[in-house]
Structure formats: structure tokens, C-alpha cells
Amino acid sequence: MKKAACLFILFFLFVTVEAQVPDGSWWTFSYSQSQSLDGGLLNLRSLNEHFAGEHGFIHLSADGNGFINGNGKEVRFWACNGGSLAAEFDDKKLDSLACFLAKMGVNVIRYHGAINPHGKNTRLMDVDTAEARNIWRCVAAMKKQGIYTIISPFWPANGHMGGWIPKEWGIDGYSGKDDMWEVLYFNERMKAGYKAWVKYLYTTPNPYTKVALKDEPAVAVIQVINEDSPFFWTMSGIKPALAKMVGAQFSKWLRNKYGQLANIKDTTDLLPIYNMTLPQGKNENSKLHDQVEFYADNQRAFYDDMVHYYREVLGCKQLVNASNWRTASQSRLLDLERWTNSGADVIAVNKYFDPQHKGPNAGWRVDPGDFYGSPSALKNPADLPTNVKHVAGHPMMVTESGWNLPNRYQTEGALLVAAYGGLTGLDAFFWFTPTATNYMQQPYFTFLNIQGQHPLNRWSTSTPGEIGMFPANALIQRLGYVKEAKILQERRTMKSMLNREVPSIFEEQSFDPNRDFVVGDNNDQGKFSPLTFLTGGISVVYDSKMDTVQVSANLNKLIDLKASKVTSVTGEEQLDYKTGIFILNTPKAKAVSGFLNVKKTFNLNEISITSNNEYATIELVSMDGKDLSQSKKVLLQVGTIFRPTGWNEEPATFNDNHKLMQGFKIINTGKMPWLGMPANGSISLKNKLIKKAIQLNAAGFAVKMLDLQTNGSTVTLQLPPDAFYILLEK
């Protein structure tokens, strides 16, 4: 979880190599600060509208599962966080950030902030006007570059709120350094404060555009709250005053359910959230079932009220998302959580690919002496952040994610998101989070010195391995180069959800490659393997009359446990999770990623890719919408492993949640500049139109012509060691 990191301007490019490989054999990554952000041969700004909202507000598609603009045309998003950089950047830097993101293919950004008042002697109904002004600045700057904004105005973590919840707010039991988890759902005074904050934000004319946000089509989605739910562990840590308030509301709810004559007393002895993570027993206390139902009803009513307030009271014309959080039991409570959110238009979740990083300050920085496991998602497919069960009739967004640092295998991330996001119909995946106008030039916390070294930032996506891989994958996502296909739809009754029954498939299910679709013997395993998420889209319908599952293809033919391979129902994606190799094979985009030297040669119809790299991601993507065999402009994008100069580590065993893990101990966090592992391979393309190959720098400008060999209708290129972006043209 990101937590304290949100207070920092974060950046770190982390990558590693085996100790015997000298730095001198790696190439130096650099980004030109002098070349124009609106120029270059690789510039995806033209994919965006002239200005965000040019064709009106973002709406739901006819089936409710996607986004369209005011003209009824499908809108496909490539997304990132970073809007809150407006609090750190002046207008010039903010404009530069918008230009850079548009150039890299981004067309929606999320502002994750807090407009509540901060500090001693503030009043609950006050507003952080500086934060509101920064949100307005962000919307205006991004709008000019055709980038929409999604606004998240509140997070209950006290540190993010300014470090002081004063008694003057009048929230019983809360002052000083207390977090505000779950308060908004149960405390009417807190709700009134929240409504006052967003009223100011959305109804005051934006001084930078002269348009109030409620009337601003460049704002795509309103997010009510970030990361909070009574179905999460934080509910067991609420203050006694709030517990008493919740108990009184629960008692009132019980009287409404069972009648006024029922012998029900006000109670504060709420059952702990842990009880809700257990199977429903035959002799289970009915109070637990009632408490689950009360939490669900209360949270659904809260979000329904917020949707009404935004839309009917304030007059906001945007789509609304309730929240984006997880539960204490993804198997038993997540569908119920999503049901409470489904009164709003859009469903969302925050989930990251965990680098298994352990250290005393791992929440926000990487120190010498820390440990990490260095997993690749290609060998851990059950942990892919795109493994999401969609709620039918609602767009689905992952509003925070990334291949968190430290991680040596970052370059796989953007490709897997574009490929599996496209397959499953994921509507937006927000990378967390850009931290500079382009690439951060100083990733170290220089005010700290540990063992003669500086710690590295933890949460940035402004790295060659992450944001550097945006262009090819933004093209894949934005232009719809991957076929969407549904594989499974589940229908659930309210009875089964309130009984906390385990659904047929759920997110974050454990994976045992030696078992079939029933992957475990305990009650918290679904009937379908988590590998099913890699075969096609999975959705759920709530309030059904019966619990049913409909599967549209033979999963035994798509999931080959013996060979450790999963193939999508479209045939366009294949993952070998034993060797860690992913293949994307569509007419307009082809790619391989992973531990390529295990196989070395990959024949993808009209394209052949060879690589002797220990690890690499190599993509060829059409830039003109034509099939690769007919395209006059193809982007060849290559990502390997990146690291700071002088990075050093050693193999180590460490404890991760009472489990011994094999990984690495960080000896030296290194220094600048960034280094890239040399590319070692070649590509061949059957396309008689391609006549030249131009190597580009990280800013997308031409560096030199490369030696392109022609043999009939086939062109062959040996990858230069410092391959990153290469343009193949007519």
C-alpha cells in the first residue's frame, strides 16, 4: 500500500543485474531536456482530442460496460496518476508534464488529493482552497493537451490529510493524529463537511477556464473516496466514540428489520471484522449475519446519497465512481463490497504488483540493507493487477497500480496491461505515479545518508522501465489492437453474498500449478483457477434469482497445466508461466516479453523475433492503423533491465509474513546515471513497404539510421545494444 509515499515527489528507477556483469557493458540512459515536448518522430499527442471534452462529457456505452464521448464514439483510455503534482509544480512545469504525458500516449490523469481543511483551529466546513486551486490548475493544464481528469478529493489517512484532525471539527473521539477510517460512512457531521468541500470544488468557477467543474467535460469521472470501507480490517480499529455511534445505528436498523416491538438494545459490542472472513457456521450467531447486512445496506445508502448529491444537488454532469478499495476477505466480502459501489456508474479498485520488498521504511523508500524477492508477473500470473472480475453494466478501472519498486522486471508491465486489459475489457489502468515533468533526474533522498548511501524513492512510474514503455502499449490500448472477448459470467444472489459464500472465481485467489481448476482443498478456493482471468473477460451480475456460472469456451483447452501454458480464447495471447515468456500476436501488434534466452526465437506469422537476453520486452506496433504486413510506419520498442550505476546486491533468504523467501539483499543503492542492459537480438518483418530504420532517443527524436537488410519482401534488423525506440518507415 502506498501510504506515506503520497507526501513525496517520488522517483526511482530500480533495476539489477548479476554482480559479475560490469557497468561498462551497459548503455547510459539519458533524456534530452532541450528538445521540444511537442516535436519528435515519436509523438502520440495526435491521438488525443484538440482539447479534453471537445466532443462533450464522457458517458456510458449502450451496455454500460465502456466509455463514449458526446458524439457516441468509443473512448479508450491510457491512464496515469500524477495530477497532484500541481501542488509542487508551477504553471510552466505543469504544462510540461501535460505535454510529455500526451506525447507518451496518456489521455486521462487522476488527481488524488485532499480538499478538507488542514491544521489546528480549522473548521470542518472550511475548504483547503490551495488544494482546490491546484485541482483547477491541473484540469486546465491537462485539458489543453487533450487529457481528461479524474478527481479523488478525500482519503481518510490522517498523514495525507495534513497531520491534524482538530477537536474544532467536532468529530467525537477524533483529534490530533487519528486516522479517519470509516468515519464518513457513519458520522453525519463528517458527511456534511465532505459535502461542503466538494460543493466548493465543483460549483466555484475555475479561475483558469472560467467554467465550474460541474459543467466541465474535461473532468471524466468523480471518485467519491479513496481506499476506505467498513469491510476492511480498519473497521476493527475505529475509536470508541464512533463504535458507539455505529452500534446505535445498527440497533435502529435491527428495529426496522425485525419490528419496533423486538427486544433490541443499543449496543456498541460490534463483532470484529475477522468474524466476517470466516465461513458461515450452522449455528452462527444471527447477529453476525445482521451486522454484515447492516454494513452493506449502510454503505450502499451512503454511495447512493453521494451520487444523488453530486448529480442532483450540485448539478455535476460527470460519471461517478464510489470507491476503489479491497476487503478483509476477497473471497467472502469483495462481491458484497462491489455491490455497495454499484449504485454509482463506474467500479474501481487499487491493486499493485508486489515486488516483495521488505525493510523498516519499505512503505516509501528503498534503503541499503533492505530485501526483495524480485518476482516477475510472467511467473506469477495469479498476481497480475489486471485479474479483475467486472461488474456487468459498469466500466472497470484500476485507479492505482504499477510494478512497484524495487523491481527488475518493470518492462513487462505496460505490455501485460495493454494485452490483458484489452482482452478483458479493462477500461482504464492508472499507473502510480509520475513524479517529474518527464523522467526524474534525481531519484535519491539526498537529505538522508545511510551507510554512506542515499535511499531511493519507492513509488514513481517515471522510469525507463515503466513510463518509457508507454508509447507502444498506449497505441495497443487506444487503437483497440487487442480483441476483447468474454469467457465467464457469474450471477450471484444477495442471499449467497450475505451468507459470505465463496464465489466460483474471485480476485487474488492463490494458485497451485500442480492442481486443476479446484486449486485448493480449503473453503476459500473458487471452482475456477485464477488462470481463467488470462483467457478472457470475467463479469458478475448481482441481485440474481439464482447463483449460476456461464462459461463460453472449454477452459481445459485454454489452460494447459501440464505444459504450464495459458492461451486466450482469441488465440492472441499466450503465457508460459513456467519459463516466464509472454507472446502477443495480433495483426497490428506483436510482442514477446520475459526470459527470452530460454527459447531465443519467436515466429509470429509475418514477424520473427530473436533474443539472447536474460530478460527483455520487444514489441512491434503499427502506428498507422494498418496490419503490420501492410503498415508504412511501425514502432519497434525494446525494454530490458534498467538500474542505477553501481547498484549492488547479493542472494539472500528473508522472512515475508512468516514465510521464508528467496531473493536479494540490497548492498548499494548506486548513483546516477541510469544504465540499461544491452539488447541482444534481431527482428525480421515481412513488409515490402518498409525501407528504413531510424533509431530514436528517449525524447522521440532521430539519432541515426540503422542498417536495415532487405531480402525480397522481408526486412531484417539487428538490434543495437542501446535499442529503446526504433521507427520502421516507408
Within-domain flag for 112: yes
Within-domain flag for 261: no
Assigned C-alpha cell, 504: 466460483
Is the Cα torsion angle 528, 529, 530, 535 positive or negative in sign?
Answer: negative
Q: Which pLDDT value is given to residue 281?
A: 82
In this predicted structure, the answer to whether residue 603 has a pLDDT above a threshold of 60 is yes
Nearest-angstrom CA–CA distance, 506 and 492: 12
In this predicted structure, the answer to whether residue 710 has a pLDDT above a threshold of 80 is yes
Q: Clarify whether residues 87 and 226 are in a common domain.
A: yes
Q: Tell me 295's DSSP state.
A: H
Nearest-angstrom CA–CA distance, 343 and 510: 30
Q: Which pLDDT value is given to residue 282?
A: 76
Q: 594 phi and psi, to 5 degrees?
A: 125, -150
Q: Clarify whether residues 116 and 196 are in a common domain.
A: yes
Q: Which pLDDT value is given to residue 163?
A: 66
Q: Which pLDDT value is given to residue 147?
A: 98
**Strand 648-655 to strand 616-622: parallel, antiparallel, or no bridges (unpaired)?**
unpaired
Q: Tell me 720's DSSP state.
A: P
Q: Clarify whether residues 72 and 143 are in a common domain.
A: yes
Q: Which pLDDT value is given to residue 513?
A: 61
Q: Which residue, chain included where needed, has cell 476493527?
A: 236
Other beta carbons within 10 angstroms of residue 361's beta carbon come to: 15
Q: Clarify whether residues 9 and 153 are in a common domain.
A: yes
Q: For residue 388, what pLDDT band results from cuts at 50, 70 and 90? A: very high
Q: Which pLDDT value is given to residue 511?
A: 74
Q: Which pLDDT value is given to residue 4?
A: 38
Q: For residue 159, what pLDDT band results from cuts at 50, 70 and 90? A: low
Range with the lowest mean pLDDT among 32-36, 146-150, 542-546, 562-566? 32-36
- CATH number for position 133: 3.20.20.80
In this predicted structure, the answer to whether residue 495 has a pLDDT above a threshold of 80 is yes
Which of 666, 680, 676, 668 is CA-nearest to residue 643?
A: 676
User: In 3-state terms, what secondary structure has residue 395?
Assistant: coil
Q: Which pLDDT value is given to residue 98?
A: 98
Q: Clarify whether residues 102 and 212 are in a common domain.
A: yes
Q: Clarify whether residues 395 and 495 are in a common domain.
A: no
In this predicted structure, the answer to whether residue 158 has a pLDDT above a threshold of 90 is no
Range of the domain at 202: 3-13+45-236+315-481
Q: Clarify whether residues 125 and 163 are in a common domain.
A: yes
Within-domain flag for 39: no
Give the end of a domain, one of 481, 499, 533.
481
Q: Clarify whether residues 468 and 405 are in a common domain.
A: yes
- Across the range 342-358, mean pLDDT stands at 96
CB 222 within 8 A of CB 151: yes
Within-domain flag for 393: yes
Within-domain flag for 28: no
Within-domain flag for 396: yes
Q: 511 phi and psi, to 5 degrees?
A: -130, 125
Average pLDDT for the chain:
92
Output 252 or 16, whichever has higher pLDDT. 252
Q: Has this prediction a pTM greater than 0.85?
A: yes
Query: What tens digit of pLDDT does each residue of 644-694 get?
Result: 899 999 999 999 888 899 999 999 999 988 899 999 999 999 999 999 999
What is the Cα Rg of the chain in Å? Answer: 26
Q: Which pLDDT value is given to residue 265?
A: 66
Q: Clarify whether residues 439 and 377 are in a common domain.
A: yes
**Share of residues in the chain with pLDDT > 90 (%):** 83
- Across the range 540-552, mean pLDDT stands at 96
Q: Which pLDDT value is given to residue 240?
A: 94
Helix 129-144, helix 188-203: angle, nearest 10: 40
Buried b (16+ CB within 10 A) or exposed e, 418-436: bbbbbbbbbbbbbbbbbbb
Nearest-angstrom CA–CA distance, 484 and 410: 25
Strand partners, 666: 649
Domain count, the chain: 3
- Across the range 77-81, mean pLDDT stands at 98
CA 623 to mean position of chain CA atoms: 25
Q: For residue 14, what pLDDT band results from cuts at 50, 70 and 90? A: very low
Query: What tens digit of pLDDT does each residue of 553-573 get?
Result: 999 999 999 999 999 999 999
CB 397 within 8 A of CB 321: yes
Q: Which pLDDT value is given to residue 523?
A: 47
Nearest-angstrom CA–CA distance, 292 and 558: 38
Within-domain flag for 614: yes
Classify burial at 351, counting beta carbons within 10 Å of its beta carbon; exposed 0-12, middle 13-18, buried 19 or more: buried
Give the end of a domain, one of 466, 481, 496.
481
Q: For residue 165, what pLDDT band results from cuts at 50, 70 and 90? A: confident
- Across the range 529-547, mean pLDDT stands at 97
Q: For residue 268, what pLDDT band results from cuts at 50, 70 and 90? A: low
Q: Which pLDDT value is given to residue 160?
A: 62
Query: What tens digit of pLDDT does each residue of 94-146 get?
Result: 999 999 999 999 999 999 999 999 888 889 999 999 999 999 999 999 999 99
CB 264 within 8 A of CB 258: yes
Within-domain flag for 296: no
Give the end of a domain, one of 481, 510, 533.
481
Q: Clarify whether residues 404 and 445 are in a common domain.
A: yes
Q: For residue 585, what pLDDT band results from cuts at 50, 70 and 90? A: very high
What amino acid is encoded at 700 in this protein? G
- Across the range 307-327, mean pLDDT stands at 98
Q: Which pLDDT value is given to residue 633?
A: 98
Q: Which pLDDT value is given to residue 251?
A: 92
Q: Clarify whether residues 509 and 601 are in a common domain.
A: no
Q: Clarify whether residues 555 and 633 are in a common domain.
A: no
Q: Which pLDDT value is given to residue 654?
A: 94
Q: Which pLDDT value is given to residue 516?
A: 41
Buried b (16+ CB within 10 A) or exposed e, 224-255: bbbbbbbbbbbbbebbeebbbbbbebbbebbe
